[in-house]
Amino acid sequence: RTVVCGNPDCTPCMIGLVDARTHDVLRQRDEWQGTHPKGSPLRRTVFNEDHEAFRQTLRSFIEAEVTPHFEDWYEAGIVPREFYYKLADLCLFGITVDEQYGGAGLDSHKFEAIQSEEVMRAGVSFGGSSVHVGLCLPYIKMLATDEQKSRYLPKFVSGEEMWAIAMTEPGTGSDLAGMRTTAKLSEDGTHYVLNGAKTFITGGVHADRMIVCARTAPQREDDRRFGISLFAVQTSLEGYAVGRKLDKVGLKTSDTAELSFTDVKVPAEDLLGEENRGFYYLGQNLPSERWMIAFGAYAQAAAAVRFAKEYTQQREVFGKPVAAFQNTKFELAACQAKVDAAQAVADRALESLDAGELTPAEAASAKLFCTEVAGEVIDRCLQLHGGYGFINEYPIARLYSDNRVNRIYGGTNEVMKTIIAKDMGL
């Protein structure tokens, strides 16, 4: 046997190839078929060489800066604020931000997708930073004036100002039109007076700026959604208060908080977009938010299969590895098939999103399918870990807890079914 690439598990090397050119051709084929460890079970075309170079940089960063500290972060229930500056140094906050504001100026969600895959692969978390980029940046890019962008984006890219978004209120849940937080314009027109409360706010503890959804006018009889506006609120303003850091079932390192606003004076120049059109703006960004959840769920499922495969190959029962039993092989094979399907759905949605063609129904379908698949796959992979799968020391246990919320936030999966059914004309 001649090892050309240095990988002892490379299929072309295993069959004794000597010619390097032939080796590379067969290796590419095997990558498409999933027989080479660096490959994918399906031929994947969404990423190019630049994306893969970014993947390797990010993987090295995670190994050096995240994995050694993650257990401490998990116990503390929060990622250190200083860690976000390291993410900023990698330009993770500015990939799609124009160069004039300190970003890279790229127009693609593919780097965000790779980050999701690599974070899940390592069984770690970047805390609430996904909200900073995945949820808040689209609103800034879509709604901010040039003057606002010049104030917001440089600090956004550098990590000096971390952003989050506050939509949900106690008692409203998915019914955003029922929100009661108000923002009343002062008589001189210089500021809005913000009053109310929000809950389940991811990134709420570390946030320096909060996109707050509030009523600036009563709802109309024929339109409950009218009257909501968006504000980029500095969290240092008097009357702005962070309440409890909520103790969640999963996502332990992602700071989730309750917020309250008592006569907070928000400068008029921090209104995002037009008054009373906030609900429309929220609807515009929901497809990208739901794609992000769908892709993250697929990545979680793929990571679960990886964890289960590694564990069952190492764990011995009755004198042989758990992976040697037919039931284990069948279970992992079935899980891999489901991951393949979820990957195809997530990738298709990614391509549509980058092309500006992702519809609300397509995004809802991707979220519904990928999150349901992930729930099933992760559960089956945890079962293969036996009792150790129930111990938080093992990444599969944390993954099991983290995954559950995917079927709730970004719109519950029941809401996704309603959207899909409506698109079907039902």
Q: What is the pTM of this model?
A: 0.83
Task: Give the span between the Cα atoms of 77 and 254, in whole angstroms.
Answer: 7
Q: What crossing angle do the helices spanning 49-61 and 110-122 adopt, rounded to 10°?
A: 40
pLDDT at site 63: 95
SS3 276: coil
Task: Give the span between the Cα atoms of 112 and 56, in whole angstroms.
Answer: 14
pLDDT at site 38: 47
Task: Give the span between the Cα atoms of 244 and 78, in whole angstroms.
Answer: 13
pLDDT at site 34: 44
How far from each other are the two terminal CA atoms of the chain, in whole angstroms?
61
Residue 49 falls in the annotated catalytic set: no
Task: Give the span between the Cα atoms of 188 and 238, in whole angstroms.
Answer: 19
- CB within 8 A of 182, min separation 6: which ones? 194, 195, 196, 214, 215, 216
pLDDT at site 10: 53
Task: Give the span between the Cα atoms of 213 and 234, in whole angstroms.
Answer: 14
Angle CA 204–206–210, to nearest 5:
50
CA of 268: how far to CAs of 64, 165, 214, in Å?
44, 18, 14
pLDDT at site 256: 87
Angle CA 148–149–155, to nearest 5:
105
pLDDT at site 314: 93
Nearest to 128 by CA among 243, 208, 198, 237: 208
Task: Give the span between the Cα atoms of 347 and 362, in whole angstroms.
Answer: 12
pLDDT at site 299: 97
3-state SS string over 183-198?
Answer: EEECCCCCEEEEEEEE
Catalytic residue among 289, 331, 376, 393: 289
Spell out the per-residue pLDDT of the chain, length 426, in tens. Answer: 344 555 555 544 544 434 454 445 545 544 444 434 444 445 788 999 999 999 999 999 999 999 999 999 998 888 999 999 999 999 999 999 999 999 999 989 999 999 999 999 999 999 989 899 999 999 999 999 999 999 999 999 999 999 999 998 887 766 677 789 999 999 999 999 999 999 999 999 999 999 999 999 998 888 888 999 999 999 999 999 999 888 888 888 888 899 999 999 999 999 999 999 999 998 888 899 999 999 999 999 999 999 999 999 999 889 999 999 999 999 999 999 999 999 999 999 999 999 999 999 999 999 999 999 999 999 999 999 999 999 988 999 999 999 999 999 888 999 999 999 999 999
Task: Give the span between the Cα atoms of 347 and 302, in whole angstroms.
Answer: 13
